[in-house]
């Protein structure tokens, strides 16, 4: 009898040899085509002992009783196992699974066949059972006991059977064309795979956002208000405690603190005061941050001037030695180490380069990313600085018109505080190449010597055409049920009100229901003969409002550019922007527009809103003027799009 260690060694080697062939066996099984036509497929394993020295004859040495001759003509396995594949390959006929395997082992005095325990391998159609010449008999082509069989086909493999071809039109599984198509998505621009937005683009967008954020940069007024607020708050707090007889001290910061709220019992008043105070402090902090970068940029200029002075005074001393001398003096004055001073100077040098290229406005109104931009200097090259230089006049136009007192910050470094551009932000036409802006009126004198334009916030009613009535009036949805009911939005079904506390309609929050901020757009001079256009300075996401089309509400005008609209009931009116309006007047036509005009009812009055279809920063805002505008018009479309519909002079 073999030892347990010997048996374990044999078992481990046999298991390893069998496992090495499992993958080949599985692939051969899945690629076996006749398997799809077997009712009860069975995988049979048989083991034989053969003489490996003679590979041609493969004589088998079966286990027989002593004295019995070797039956070389009949091969008998020492082990036979069958595995039922019906649950693995094809759907089972019943929910009760059959036995997965039936194993019969033979000993030295017994040879058994497992075919009695497992159904024979048969085919359900014309497939004939092919037997090896040396395999045991007992497998038939068909079983008479099977009765009516259910044909099972694989859903993944093509069958090799010759199915009849039917030409009838009413046959099932015919693929037909469907004429009911869903609504297609909006046609987008050509897909352009580009890199992530550059650091310079982010910096420029940040400058425009700060310019139109409404932050006041007026340091004298802010600091004076700060000082006055502290004195007034301290005096009021002391007077209140004197009359109440309470023994309390004012807040350390001179403003009403947490304990004062409970003492005075006027939480609403204190909250409003804290809002105003916090706003002023935030604006003062922003102004101080601007002062910081202004002084640091000027310090770098003075450092370079002092280094040049040392070079001129000591011609024999190398320039690097002169800069080192100036650096050591600065370290002594600041009380910083040389390493810390060099790190600061690297960032301050970035401030100076931005000031030299984009002007003081780019530096003062830079966003919070300016420190990171100057620290890592990603995109700091000659091309980027040249591009920033072309934006310089445009920064100054927006800064001078939106923040009239911002140049007072420059007085701390000896710069002039006089503005270059006055008036409305859209009274100036800028140029993409960085040329000096020109007044809006000068661009229309060749067409109309008496041209003038008034910027409006709301449309005006032409009393000669409509009298005291507003033709844009639309009755409220709840007017019949409750005449005094609040206005309800026709789109979101929420209450509309000019009071932000009561308003619940947020369809266009930048225009209605809250104070309007300056729109980040500029009027620019086009290069293809379309006169002026409107450019987006920041991105407008799809569905966002760019502005309201305002002007003179009139009727009966012909052969002039007007916005025609009709309210419920069929009453039509026109909005003319020839002499009065806003920046929407300068939106050009494009056959592939990125914006559109949309009717919107606010507080019972129909409005025309310019809505974005997805406008990127720096793109021109365009709309489609429609066929009614171009019909019989002696003009040629200059949009330049490949899908232009109005290339001919007359339609």
Specify burial of residue 148 (Cβ count, 10 A radius: 0-12, 13-18, 19+): exposed
Instruction: Locate 325 and state its tokens.
Output: 């001398």
Say which residues have a Cβ less than 8 Å from residue 361's Cβ, sequence separation at least 6: 207, 211, 392, 395, 396, 398, 399, 406
Q: Which sign, positive or negative, has the C-alpha torsion 454, 402, 549, 485?
A: negative
CB 129 within 8 A of CB 121: yes
523 within 8 A of 426, measured Cβ to Cβ: yes
Q: Is the dihedral of CA 225, 231, 236, 241 positive or negative?
A: positive
Let me know if 472 is exposed, middle or buried by CB neighbors in 10 A (0-12, 13-18, 19+).
buried
Beta carbons within 8 Å of 146's beta carbon, 6+ residues apart: 39, 122
Q: What is the pLDDT of residue 49?
A: 81
| β-pairing verdict for 605-612 and 545-548 | antiparallel
The per-residue pLDDT for 615 is: 96
**Which are the contacts of 275, defined by CB distance < 8 A and separation ≥ 6?**
none
Q: To the nearest 10°, the Cα dihedral for 285, 290, 293, 295?
A: -100
Within the chain, which residues score under 70 in pLDDT? 1-2, 33, 36, 52-75, 89-196, 219-265, 478-485, 648-651
* CATH number for the domain formed by residue range(s) 454-630: 2.170.270.10
Q: Which residues contact 501 (CB under 8 A, 6 or more apart)?
A: none
Instruction: Tell me what pLDDT residue 414 has.
Output: 93
Q: What pLDDT is attached to residue 23?
A: 76
CA distance 377 to 254: 42
Structure tokens at 449: 């010597």
The CA angle 405-406-412, to the nearest 5 degrees, is 105
Dihedral over Cα of 350, 355, 360, 361: its sign: negative
Nearest in space to 456 (alpha carbons), one of 563, 351, 552, 574:
552
Contact 591, 624 (CB under 8 A): yes
Task: Count the neighbouring beta carbons within 10 Å of the beta carbon of residue 175.
Answer: 5
47, containing H or E segment: strand 42-47
Q: For every residue of 341-360, which 3-state class applies, written as one string? A: HHHHHHHHHHHHHHHHHHHH
d(CA 548, CA 598): 9
At residue 328's C-alpha, the angle toward residues 322 and 329, to 5°, is 95
Q: Which helix (H) or strand (E) holds 488?
A: strand 487-488
Helix and strand numbers, DSSP H then E, in the chain: 13, 20
Q: How far apart are CA 403 and CA 358, in angstroms?
A: 17
* Closest C-alpha among 334, 574, 378 to residue 462: 574
pLDDT for 549 equals: 95
- 582: alpha, beta or left? (left if phi > 0; alpha if psi -120 to 50): beta
Domain spans in the chain, listed from the N-terminal domain onward? 1-28, 32-63+72-124, 214-422, 454-630
- Token output for 447: 């067409």
The DSSP string of 365-384 is T--TTHHHHHHH-TT-SHHH
What's the token pair of residue 465? 């055409």
Phi, psi of 449 (to 5 degrees): -60, -20
Specify the DSSP element, H or E, that contains 17: helix 4-20
The whole-number pLDDT of residue 416 equals 92
What pLDDT does residue 593 have?
94
Q: How would you classify the pairing of strands 552-554 and 460-461?
A: parallel
What local confidence, expressed as pLDDT, does residue 587 receive?
Answer: 96
Contact criterion met (CB below 8 Å) for 344 and 336: yes
108: left (phi over 0), alpha (psi -120 to 50) or beta: alpha
Across 276-352, the runs of DSSP E, i.e. the strands, are none
């Amino acid at each position: 009898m073999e030892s347990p260690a010997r048996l374990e060694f044999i078992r481990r080697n046999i298991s390893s040899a069998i496992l090495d062939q499992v993958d080949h066996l599985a692939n051969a099984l899945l690629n076996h085509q006749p398997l799809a036509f077997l009712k009860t497929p069975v995988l049979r394993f048989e083991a034989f002992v053969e003489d490996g020295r003679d590979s041609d004859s493969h004589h088998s040495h079966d286990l027989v009783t002593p004295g019995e001759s070797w039956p070389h003509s009949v091969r008998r396995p020492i082990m036979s196992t069958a595995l039922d594949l019906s649950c693995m390959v094809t759907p089972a006929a019943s929910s009760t699974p059959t036995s997965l395997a039936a194993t019969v082992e033979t000993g030295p005095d017994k040879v058994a066949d497992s075919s009695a325990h497992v159904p024979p391998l048969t085919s359900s159609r014309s497939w004939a059972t092919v037997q090896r010449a040396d395999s045991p008999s007992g497998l038939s082509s068909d079983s008479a006991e099977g009765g009516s069989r259910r044909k099972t086909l694989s859903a993944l493999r093509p069958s090799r059977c010759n199915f009849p071809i039917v030409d009838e039109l009413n046959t099932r599984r015919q693929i037909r064309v469907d004429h009911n198509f869903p609504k297609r998505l909006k046609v987008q621009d050509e897909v352009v795979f580009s890199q992530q937005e550059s650091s310079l683009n982010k910096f420029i967008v940040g400058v425009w956002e700060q310019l139109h954020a409404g932050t006041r940069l007026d340091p004298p007024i802010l600091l004076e208000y700060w000082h006055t607020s502290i004195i007034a708050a301290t005096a009021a707090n002391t007077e209140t405690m004197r009359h109440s007889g309470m023994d309390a001290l004012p807040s350390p910061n001179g403003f009403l603190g947490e304990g004062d709220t409970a003492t005075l019992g006027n939480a609403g008043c204190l909250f409003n005061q804290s809002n105003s105070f916090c706003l002023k402090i935030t604006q003062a902090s922003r102004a101080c941050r601007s002062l910081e970068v202004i002084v640091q940029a000027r310090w770098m200029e003075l450092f370079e001037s002092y280094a040049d002075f040392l070079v001129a005074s000591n011609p024999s001393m190398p320039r690097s030695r002169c800069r080192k001398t100036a650096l050591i003096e600065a370290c002594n004055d600041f009380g910083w180490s040389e390493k810390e001073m060099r790190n600061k100077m690297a960032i301050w040098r970035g401030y100076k380069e931005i000031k030299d290229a984009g002007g003081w406005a780019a530096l003062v109104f830079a966003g919070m990313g300016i420190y990171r931009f100057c620290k890592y200097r990603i995109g700091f090259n000659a091309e980027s600085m040249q591009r920033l230089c072309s934006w310089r006049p445009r920064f100054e136009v927006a800064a001078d018109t939106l923040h009239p007192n911002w140049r007072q910050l420059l007085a701390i470094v000896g710069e002039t505080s006089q503005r270059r551009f006055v008036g409305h932000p859209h009274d100036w036409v800028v140029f993409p190449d960085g040329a000096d802006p020109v007044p809006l009126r000068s661009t229309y004198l060749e067409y109309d010597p008496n041209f003038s334009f008034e910027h409006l916030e709301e449309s005006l009613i032409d009393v000669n055409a409509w009298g005291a009535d507003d033709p844009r009036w639309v009755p409220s949805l709840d007017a019949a049920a409750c005449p005094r009911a609040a206005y309800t939005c026709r789109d979101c079904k929420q209450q509309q009100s000019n009071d932000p506390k009561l308003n619940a309609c947020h369809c266009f929050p930048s225009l209605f229901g809250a104070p309007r901020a300056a729109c980040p757009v500029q009027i620019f001079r086009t290069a293809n003969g379309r006169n002026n256009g409107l450019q987006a300075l920041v991105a407008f996401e799809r569905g966002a409002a760019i502005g309201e089309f305002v002007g003179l509400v009139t009727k009966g005008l012909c052969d002039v550019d007007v916005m025609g609209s009709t309210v419920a009931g069929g009453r039509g009116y026109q909005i003319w922007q020839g002499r009065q309006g806003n920046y929407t007047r300068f939106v050009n036509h494009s056959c592939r527009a990125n914006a559109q005009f949309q009717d919107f009812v606010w507080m019972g009055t129909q409005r025309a809103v310019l809505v974005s279809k997805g406008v990127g920063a720096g793109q021109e805002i365009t709309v489609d003027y429609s066929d009614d505008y171009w019909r019989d018009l002696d003009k040629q479309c200059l949009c330049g799009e490949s899908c232009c519909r109005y290339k001919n002079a007359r339609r």
